[in-house]
Structure 1
């Protein structure tokens, strides 16, 4: 079923893939709420999309997640879709980077802990509304890691398996648990130097929304399909291939 006439929270929707999600879902007549740590980015997003509802929130902080959830309960009780999109990644040499443990903590807080915390806080609201969905954004790197992203890989693998468990535990409930796995998308993430296999954010989100409309629950976008097959058939080759990009 297509996502229409819904009230949707998208974390990290002020730029990149998240902003493109906001853009396309607003066009479909949905009410979109997004949060970000950066008020400036949120305000810029709202200039482009005046219908967008913005809320400044650092999801790595439990108290701010709780405040956001309470604000949603009071102001947007019709919430029926949560998209856990916000994420960070650090390119590091684990042993030689003096701040590697600090970066590890921050990545796991944002990429893994925050989505779970928001699901726990917002589930009572989501489940009381029609056509409810939880959408967790992960990556094809859950199958084959890129060695430059030691914590991003690991945090997304954790979210990947948590999503599978949550889907199983809630299989009798009227809520869909969806995972969307992206790989290379031409966004500011790549700092102006996207890999050759990168697709546009518009194409990536269009493919995502089409798959959701067909009731798919584990959605592999573009080259993730190929990476998954390589991982199943020749894992060592897949590891070399993904790290040669």
Structure 2
């Protein structure tokens, strides 16, 4: 058996971890965390398919990382998601892992609707409706696999907000609660739900973030994530050490101080 979180034969409880031998689809993986994770998983012996809307980036991924498959996909387009899902499943019927990686992060000014409403709506479409539509496109298939995993991607900002990005924070909080809820609903299936909770990572998600010394280096983040996947088979939330400051502020009783530090 080989899913990102393996289950005991005949039961619904995880019994170990195998991060090789899976077939994994990662939409939104043409750059940043998604691409770095795709490469790391491919290097571990998984079949990896990445999706993205920009053809040039897909061609670059295929050229620079032989063996990684690509498919054109716009996660803002419901029909496009269905078409891409059909393409992926036709070529890879043994698909057993979906990583809903696609997301955007934009600064907003909520003093007047003209300065935030369009951005807020686009953020909800990409960050909330995108993962919902992706899961809807694959969930029936995943239930036919003996071992399957849905990996959602929230953020440390789901638990402690950055004032400049209200809708991004809210969208990631929604993904956290969606993950919690799906885990309950799918407990009677072979499908596990695992939530990846990144801190600020050095990527191009926001202008200047790739060079931000306060953000976690991308390679360091992915290395720690891979170690956690390999060593914590029962984990429902994948948390590198840096994100725990944000994740557990309320539990520690220092939430106000965490929010102040995030917004300093």
Once the two structures are TM-superposed, the CA of residue 190 in structure 1 deviates from its matched residue by 4.1
Greater shift, 84-93 or 36-45, is seen at: 36-45
Larger deviation, residues 104-113 vs 198-207: 198-207
The CA deviation at 1:54 is 1.0
Task: Report the 3-state secondary structure (helix = DSSP H, G, I; strand = E; otherwise coil) of the residue aligned with 1:223.
Answer: helix
Q: Is the 8 A contact 1:140 1:220 kept in 2?
A: no
In the alignment, which residue of structure 2 is the partner of 1:204? 221
RMSD between aligned residues: 1.5
> What is the rounded CA distance, in whole Å, between the counterparts of 2:164 and 2:208 in structure 1?
18
Compute the TM-score of the two structures, normalised by the length of structure 2. 0.87
* In structure 2, distance between residues paired with 1:125 and 1:43: 27
SS at match of 2:149: strand
Other-structure match for 2:71: 55
Q: Secondary structure at the match of 1:189?
A: coil
User: Aligned with 1:91: secondary structure?
Assistant: coil
Are the counterparts in 2 of residues 180 and 221 from structure 1 also a CA contact under 8 Å? no
Whether the 8 Å contact between 1:140 and 1:183 is mirrored in structure 2 is yes
Q: Which of 168, 171, 179 is the equivalent residue of 1:152? A: 168
Query: Is the 8 Å Cα contact of residues 184 and 195 (structure 1) preserved in structure 2?
Result: no
| Preserved CA contact (<8 Å) 1:82 1:133 | yes
Match of 1:125 in 2: 141
Instruction: Say yes or no: does 1:95 pair with 2:111.
Output: yes
Q: Paired residue for 1:219?
A: 238
2:25 alignment counterpart: 9
Aligned residue number for residue 178 of structure 2: 162
Shift of 1:209: 2.2
1:73-104 CA distances to partner (integer Å, 9 max, x unpaired)?
A: 32211110000111001112122462522211
| Structure 2 match to 1:173 | 189
User: How do 1:223-242 and structure 2 match up within 5 A?
Assistant: 223-232=242-251, 233-242=253-262
Q: Which consecutive unaligned segments of at least 5 residues does structure 1 have? A: none
Write out per-residue CA displacement over residues 148-203 of structure 1, whole angstroms, 9 at most, x where no aligned residue.
11111011111110100000111222121000101111112243444433222222
Aligned residue number for residue 128 of structure 2: 112
- TM-score w.r.t. the length of structure 1 is 0.94
Return the alpha-carbon distance in structure 1 between the equivalents of residues 104 and 246 of structure 2: 22
More deviation in 231-240 or 4-13? 231-240
